[in-house]
A and B are shown apart, each in its own frame.
Chain A
């Protein structure tokens, strides 16, 4: 599929996945890919983490939008901001004329009591604010880096829970609007991120079914991070491979190479088995991102990951994943 067309199918893409699977890197790379595809992109971060900013090699994100990639010839631009639940609650109250009690709410700990009295209110307010941003039309695509761990499901389920629990009032109205957004494939889609290993794949499968059944969101392709690129000929013993290429190996080198090859093949074997299993159980297309053999993601790595995303999206069939 054409990447620009694919990435703009919905105005909001929510990237979700368990801690440690590289969700933030995928969010950042997708923003770069979208910007390259000509989409003005806004990244929204809800946990106040610094990882995203360091990948773009800029200062930390804040409530005010920050330019991560300037609009230029090859880029439509990426901006980013944080949107923590407390920000969203205070905004919400201010929008409804309760500005003057906001300080008291924070200072007195009443905010915690509200959040406890109405579980999911923090999530619903964040999503409500995201909906406002989506409606503002100030960007072509919003990418939301969802909370990690099991929170992704409760985060996305909050609207349904609230709509069931609260019969009327402004919060109920907010929940209804968020439900409408989440359920509309033309406006919103969830991209799940995983690693090609057993536990992350198990959790992804559970999350995917739960999101479709309980929340009714439309799921995009699964993004698999850290896939070992194929290497031909690792099964040939190093000494033999060297001899047939006329290469002289030093003392002990063949053993070293054999160990590295065996390790790589074994890990790759685990990955293949898990990817295959996921494909069997989950009828969602997969986009694979290569293992970069780096231990932290920098600006250059984001470009490589964006390349891989664009290539992977290009290989998808039209209508895939909806």
Chain B
């Protein structure tokens, strides 16, 4: 449970990163989380640290920009150029299934048990289709790197979700799922006290078999049977992951765009985190409309709009319209962000403007890095 800092001067994102060993980038889909996470890892590497970033489904262009055509589930070193010779950056793309397979191998009593589980169809479904598995494996990967790797900073991108806590709760939730009493209920049908419950449960299971087919139910039961004895290991691991996420060395960074709907979602994230006693340590707002000219100078949106109307049809009228459109956007974004900024205070807010070019390579990422940390 990260406590608010007592620093006398306001912290910037750079201070937050310097004081952290783990950074979790969270936020809704489409706001540039993966890019932000990568740029953070890159900048920390350029500052001399040994960093690794866990990406979730990076866009092809980002993987290309990092010079990693085929990211895998293990860290691959990224060429960050001569400037960053003191540090190192590595990147990987989360592979949910192989991460889960690794956990099964780790906690199984012997290789027979591991193989029985890995070959089960219900297990295959868990690792690909059970909601929350991706979040679970992202935090598992994070834990694995933070505990076992020799990293100064682990940065993790999170799967797009509406609930900040999906990521935090996933290990516990999955551990509970894996410990489901369906198995116990079915395997101990004659134990005196619970007998009545079991009969009812078996009725439910029989009804289900009629709807979804006996095969799939049999697969599920076989899975829970094979899993016997491993629940405890998974639970302990989940508790350890939870402790790491709550540690003061872990910084949650909220990533948002300035659009009203994503700002609302970010606000919801922040309050969910607060309910879990986790403070947002910084807010990164991507793709902000740049304001032209120094703050407080020049004309306002309404005046620019009016002049555009008066001068309609002329080239200078178009100029005023372009300015009016930009100022209207910038004003609206400021308005949207006001509440959120207050909500997460005193955490710093970094606004990364929309660039006039697309980021396609390391130089582009470096420009984003400067904007992020300036």
Pick the contact of B292: A98, A171, A236, A259 (CB < 8 A).
A259
Give the B interface residue count (CB, 8 A). 72
Stretch binding the partner chain, chosen from A134-142, A177-185, A194-202, A310-318? A194-202
Q: How far is the CA of A243 from the CA of B273 in the complex (A)?
A: 56
Beta-carbon contacts under 8 Å, B262-286 to A: 262, 264
> Does residue A70 face the partner (Cβ distance < 8 Å to B)?
no
| Pair B292/A104 contact, Cβ less than 8 Å | no
Beta-carbon contacts under 8 Å, A238-291 to B: 238, 241-242, 244-245, 247, 252-253, 255-264, 266-267, 270, 291
Question: What distance in Å separates the Cβ of B157 from its nearest Cβ neighbour in chain A?
Answer: 13
| Pair A202/B325 contact, Cβ less than 8 Å | no
> Does residue B332 face the partner (Cβ distance < 8 Å to A)?
yes
Residues in chain B near residue A202, CB distance under 8 A: 59-61
The residue among A121, A233, A296 with the most chain B CB atoms within 10 A of its own CB is: A296
Stretch binding the partner chain, chosen from A8-16, A36-44, A73-81, A162-170? A162-170
| Pair B323/A113 contact, Cβ less than 8 Å | no
Beta-carbon contacts under 8 Å, A80-106 to B: 93, 96, 98, 101, 104-105
| Pair B318/A231 contact, Cβ less than 8 Å | yes
> Does residue B320 face the partner (Cβ distance < 8 Å to A)?
yes
Stretch binding the partner chain, chosen from A18-26, A58-66, A208-216? A18-26
Beta-carbon contacts under 8 Å, A288-322 to B: 291, 293-297
22 residue pairs from A and B, CB less than 8 Å apart:
A20-B30, A21-B30, A113-B182, A117-B216, A119-B129, A149-B30, A166-B213, A232-B318, A233-B318, A242-B316, A244-B315, A245-B314, A252-B293, A256-B292, A257-B323, A261-B323, A263-B326, A266-B356, A295-B259, A295-B260, A295-B329, A296-B336
B residues contacting A by CB (< 8 A) are 28-31, 57, 59-61, 122, 125-126, 128-131, 160, 162, 176-177, 180-182, 200-201, 203-204, 207-208, 210-213, 216-217, 219-220, 257-262, 264, 290, 292-293, 297-299, 311, 314-323, 325-326, 328-329, 332-333, 335-336, 354, 356-358
A residues contacting B by CB (< 8 A) are 18-21, 24, 47, 49-51, 54, 93, 96, 98, 101, 104-105, 108-110, 112-121, 148-150, 166-172, 197-199, 202-203, 231-234, 236, 238, 241-242, 244-245, 247, 252-253, 255-264, 266-267, 270, 291, 293-297
